[in-house]
Structure 1
Amino acid sequence: MRFGVASKQAYICRDCGYIYSDRTPFDKLPDKYFCPVCGAPKRRFKPYEPKVSKNANATDARKARKEQLKKDEAVGQALPIGIAVGILALLGIFFYLNSVY
């Protein structure tokens, strides 16, 4: 009989790009766990999908991931603004056409 090892989920710090992939499952860590690199609280981590390599927490790799995280979060923040601007433009066109015709 073979027992498979449960796949462990890696988590990434959204502030500095540090990847937690130790043996202890992330959800079993105490709530007062903090990032060993930047000191961010546990709530600032999110699941990380790509395969984690041995040198995942090297300074250059973390900096590159941090920049990508910033870009990803900026897109998420800009989307509601874009939607609001689009709705206002449509309303403006609607009222303009109704007043002209």
Structure 2
Amino acid sequence: MNIGELAKGVAVVTGTNEASAKAAITAVFDQIAGAAAKGEEVSIPGFGKFAVKDRPERQGRNPATGDAITIAASKKVAFTPAKGLKDKL
């Protein structure tokens, strides 16, 4: 499913047009991304939780040469599904 298909489904359920639904979906994802950029957790009851996790510096290998390299520390966004979502699967 892509954003166009998601917007169509939301538009049908909410009785709005696709452009409004797409704008609303984009706004929701922008808010989640903004919260993640600040390091905040976003919890959506019945769906799941988005949280920023730190990945520590670690050792790796260059696949082309086999040399050991240091992979820099980074942050990632992790999603943990809620029980309601798990039950639907």
TM-score range, shorter chain: under 0.3
> Relative contact order (alpha carbons < 8 A, sep ≥ 6): 1 or 2 greater?
1
Rg bigger for which structure? 1
Name whichever structure is richer in strand by fraction. 2
Q: TM-score, normalised by structure 2?
A: 0.28
Q: TM-score, normalised by structure 1?
A: 0.25
Name whichever structure is richer in helix by fraction. 1
